[in-house]
Amino acid sequence: MSIQNENDLIALRKIGRIVAQCLQFMGSKLEPGITTLELDQLGQAFLEKHGAKSAPRLVYNFPGTTCISVNEEAAHGIPGAKKLCAGDLVNIDVSAELEGYFADTGGSFIIPPESNLKKNLCLATKRALDLALAVARAGQPLNSIGRAIETEALRNKLTVIENLGSHGVGRWLHEEPDFIPGYYDPDDKRVLKENQVITIEPFLSTGAREVFDAGDGWTLATAKKYLTAQYEHTLVVTKGQPLIMTLPG
């Protein structure tokens, strides 16, 4: 969507704050022994308390409120009986709708103890998001986002998951632009527009370049020998620094 007025901005900030706080809350509940279903139920209760509806359930009939992906799972993990363990890398993706507006956020967490590999992967992915946000300005090439992400991945000897990317959001969960690569595509001639609402969500891996269906029709994973981290914000493009909608405060 494109922000048309102050009411759009207020409504988007409202749902953005809710999903950001939900992500923060769920992350604080991570501990060995909790199941991904129990974690998802905490997220469901949080969203319901604030009047928000799970976007993946609403839009795609996803069998969960949030997406919870563990270790080699990169995205769209179905909450279930899986018990989390010490050292697990857990990605939580929270998207929701309120009053006709959608916001989308995500983050990766390590249940202690942290290995250097997982810690460095998460730090590099966070930096990739920050660097991509810094270049997301009206009038700039859309592929500058992928260039920033890929440059940071290469600097850290990591790879980009090429068949996952960022997207438009706002009045629906996935809008135009429908796919914003996390790598530099010189043939992509699209340009960022003022007031455009998009996500930026780098997926960096310890060696994988693609994800595949893990067999349940939803979960996207790599080979078991790889790990993937993801961090995501919903933002509004401006002529200067973007307005980040998915901040908890």
Question: What domains, with CATH codes, occur in the chain?
Answer: 6-244 (3.90.230.10)
User: Which pLDDT does position 69 carry in this prediction?
Assistant: 98
User: Which pLDDT does position 247 carry in this prediction?
Assistant: 98
Query: Considering the entire predicted model, what is its pTM?
Result: 0.97
Closest CA to 230 of 118, 113, 92, 77: 92
User: Which pLDDT does position 73 carry in this prediction?
Assistant: 98
CB-based contacts of 6, cutoff 8 Å, min separation 6: none
User: Which pLDDT does position 94 carry in this prediction?
Assistant: 99
Q: Please report, for residues 78, 152, 233, the alpha-carbon distance to residue 199 in angstroms, rounded to integers and kept in the order given.
A: 22, 18, 6
User: Which pLDDT does position 34 carry in this prediction?
Assistant: 98
Residues of the chain with pLDDT under 70: none
Asked if the peptide bond before residue 186 counts as cis, ω within 30 degrees of 0, the response is no
User: Which pLDDT does position 224 carry in this prediction?
Assistant: 96
